[in-house]
Structures are given as structure tokens and as C-alpha cells.
């Protein structure tokens, strides 16, 4: 038997053409294109790229955008289901239920052809923002807002959440969040999803597998943890004592460290710059300054086993942006899923195209 690797660390499980990571150099590419370049595009462009493997031309993008907009609405039956969900739990639990119900309502659910699966992908990508906004509105005892087809993917989500159109910089921030969250190779939720897809489970079942895995506080749930930490620290002056107290108790500081990156996560650099810009427009830099203070203290006080600093990961400054965008903490993980669903569906298609059931072995002790 080969030597076991706890957590499968460093194990290469499969080939992919969807994304590339160099953890030592801090490089991330979708379909061979650097994330810094992709972050300046629209989410719809990135979604098309991930699913189809190439950047869309002007006509292709317009057609894809129109398809997404035409699929944004959810029906009254879905809203009725949302109203009976248990709102005392993380919103992602309710989203999981909503997607299961969507599968029942999809006439192509049992059709596993590529064309049918791409249709399902479009419906999922289009409806997730509407579902999450509707869940929040129902929880608040309000009626959900209908999607606005004149707004971009990100701006429309914030509109449905609040009932008012976001500012230009707010729309840019949430659009970047969706892009930077869209894909990241074999992260836990994507790997779990590919295992489900390898059994030839349908797309909806695979996506729900990804959602369940995303919920964990050591994966997508970390973003909510950072938001709660920012509230706990409250002001920059408290950052030093907060970090020292946590480290003295050997407790995790949320939003730091990554299994793959050994340098600054390239997504975090973009998020940090965006958070600074949003804070400036907001007129109150407190959340940004709290995060920056935490980052500085962590550099000074904590090194990894090789004596290197622990850098912020993708959740850290994205949580700062969520604070400024007034996204409730219980929605944080679900909002992450809005971006990630394009990458998830791309991985489903790649798994189906060259499938072998993923079935590793265990070392018996």
C-alpha cells in the first residue's frame, strides 16, 4: 500500500482543463487566463468561459446573458416552500431544499445529455441569486422582489436583497466576488461534487453535494466566521489583544491560511483592494481598518512550521466587503455559492465526459 496522506494533501486525483493553481507563486488561472485579467470582466463572461471552455464573442455573450436573465424568476410554489423553511438555521440549509425542489420541477432532470445539462446549469446560475434573496425576504416577513432584467448578475442580486439598486462600486464589488468565488480546482466542495458526478448522479444531486460540503466552517462557512470575528474585534485597537488571546488558547484565526497557497492568495489581493475602495465610498473605514490590523498582527505573531507568515485567504477581505454591502452573516456561505455554481457545473461536465467512478482505498490499521 502507498503511504497515506492525511486529508489527501498533495495528492493529484485527476486531470482538469478548468483551472490552474501555483500555490508557491500565488497564481490562479481559469481556462489558462490569469485571475487578475478575469476579475475585470463580467460574471456572465466568466460563467460562459467556465462552462464552454472559451471566452464568448459579443454575440455569444449577449445571447448567454439574455438566457440567464430569462431564467432568473422563481415560481410561487418555490416561494411557498421557502416560507416553511426553518429560518433558525444557516440559510444554506434552506437553499439546499430549494434546489432539491427545483430539480423536481425541471422537465430535463432525468436527461443527462450535455445539452440538457447545460440547460440545467443556466437555470441554476440564474436562479441561485433569486432564491437566496427570496429566502432572506421571506425570513424578514417581506415579499420577495422580482428580478430586474436591466441589471447585471451582481447588481440584480443586491437589488433583490434590498429593494434598491446598488451604487456602481457596490455592483462592481459583488460582481468581483462572484468571479473570484467561481472556481478553485479541487477544493473540498468541488471534489465532493465530482465524486457524486462520477456515479452519474444528475447535476442537481451533484450541486447539492457541493453545497453540503461548502457549508463547513473550514471551507465556505469560513466567510461567515470572518464576519463574526470583525464584529467581535469591533475597532482596530482591539486587534492585537484579540489575536494574542486566540493564539494563547491555540484557537484558529478565521480567514488565514490555505492548504495550497504558501504565499498571498491572488484573489485576496484583489479583494483587499476592492474592500479599501468600498470602505472609502462608504465613508467609514472601520471594518477595513480592523481587518488590516488583524493582518498586521498575524504577520508579527504567527508563522507556519517552516517559519513563513500565514497570509489571508479568499474569505478574509471578501468578508469585509460583505459587511459594507450589508449582507447578513447567515447568507455569507450561500452568496459564495452564487459565484461557485458556474465552476461546479463545469466540473460536472468534465467528469461526465471522461468518467470513472472515484473510489480511492483506505489503509486499514
- Residues acting as catalytic residues: 258, 315
CA 90 to chain centre: 15
**Cα distance between residue 228 and residue 242, in whole Å:** 13
Q: Which three cell numbers stand for residue 95?
A: 437553499
Does residue 21 sit in helix, strand or coil?
strand
Q: Which of 190, 214, 321 is nearest to 268 (CA)?
A: 321
Gap between the Cα atoms of 38 and 179, Å rounded: 8
Using CA atoms, how far apart are residues 114 and 30, in angstroms rounded to an integer? 21
**H or E stretch at 195:** helix 188-198
d(CA 134, CA 157): 10
Spell out the residues 6+ positions from residue 201 whose beta carbon is closer than 8 angstroms to its own. 209
Strand partners, 22: 27
Sequence-ordered list of residues with C-beta below 8 angstroms from that of 112, at least 6 positions apart, any chain: 200, 202, 352
- Assess contact for 209 and 193: CB atoms under 8 A: yes
Q: Radius of gyration of the chain from Cα atoms? A: 20
The strand order across the sheet containing 33-34 reads: 19-22, 27-30, 33-34
Residue 33 three-state SS: strand
**Neighbour-count burial for 269-306, b at 16+ CB within 10 Å, e otherwise:** bbbbebbbbbbeebeebebbbbbbbbbebbeeeeeeee
CA distances from 241 to 114, 244, 274, 313, 344 (A): 54, 5, 27, 21, 40
Amino acid at each position: 500500500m502507498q503511504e497515506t496522506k492525511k486529508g489527501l494533501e498533495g495528492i493529484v486525483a485527476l486531470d482538469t482543463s478548468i483551472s490552474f493553481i501555483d500555490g508557491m507563486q500565488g497564481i490562479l488561472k481559469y481556462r489558462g487566463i490569469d485571475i487578475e485579467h478575469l476579475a475585470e470582466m463580467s460574471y456572465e463572461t466568466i460563467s460562459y468561459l467556465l462552462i464552454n471552455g472559451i471566452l464568448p464573442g459579443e454575440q455569444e455573450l449577449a445571447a448567454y446573458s439574455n438566457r440567464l436573465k430569462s431564467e432568473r424568476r422563481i415560481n410561487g410554489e418555490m416561494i411557498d416552500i421557502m416560507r416553511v423553511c426553518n429560518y433558525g438555521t444557516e440559510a444554506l440549509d434552506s437553499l439546499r431544499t430549494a434546489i432539491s425542489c427545483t430539480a423536481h420541477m425541471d422537465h430535463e432532470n432525468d436527461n443527462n445529455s450535455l445539452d440538457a445539462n447545460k440547460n440545467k446549469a443556466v437555470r441554476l446560475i440564474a436562479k441561485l441569486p433569486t432564491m437566496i434573496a427570496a429566502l432572506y425576504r421571506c425570513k424578514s416577513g417581506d415579499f420577495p422582489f422580482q428580478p430586474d432584467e436591466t441589471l447585471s448578475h451582481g447588481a440584480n442580486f443586491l437589488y433583490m436583497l434590498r429593494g434598491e439598486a446598488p451604487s456602481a462600486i457596490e455592483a462592481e464589488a459583488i460582481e468581483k466576488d462572484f468571479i473570484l468565488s467561481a472556481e478553485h480546482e479541487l477544493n473540498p466542495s468541488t471534489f465532493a461534487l465530482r465524486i457524486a458526478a462520477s456515479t452519474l448522479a444528475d447535476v442537481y444531486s451533484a450541486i447539492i453535494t457541493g453545497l453540503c460540503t461548502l457549508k463547513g466552517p473550514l471551507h465556505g462557512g469560513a466567510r461567515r466566521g470572518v464576519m463574526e470575528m470583525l464584529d467581535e474585534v469591533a475597532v482596530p485597537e482591539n486587534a492585537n489583544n484579540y489575536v494574542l488571546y486566540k493564539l494563547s488558547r491555540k484557537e484558529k484565526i478565521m480567514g488565514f491560511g490555505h492548504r495550497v497557497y504558501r504565499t498571498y492568495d491572488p484573489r485576496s489581493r484583489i479583494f483587499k483592494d476592492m474592500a479599501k475602495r468600498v470602505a472609502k465610498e462608504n465613508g467609514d473605514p472601520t471594518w477595513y481598518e480592523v481587518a488590516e490590523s488583524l493582518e498586521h498582527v498575524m504577520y508579527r505573531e504567527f508563522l507556519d512550521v517552516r517559519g513563513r507568515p500565514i497570509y489571508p485567504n479568499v474569505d478574509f477581505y471578501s468578508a469585509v466587503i460583505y459587511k459594507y454591502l450589508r449582507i447578513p452573516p447567515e447568507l455569507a456561505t450561500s452568496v459564495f455559492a452564487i459565484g461557485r455554481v458556474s465552476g461546479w457545473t463545469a466540473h460536472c461536465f468534465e467528469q461526465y465526459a471522461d468518467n470513472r467512478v472515484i473510489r480511492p482505498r483506505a489503509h486499514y490499521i
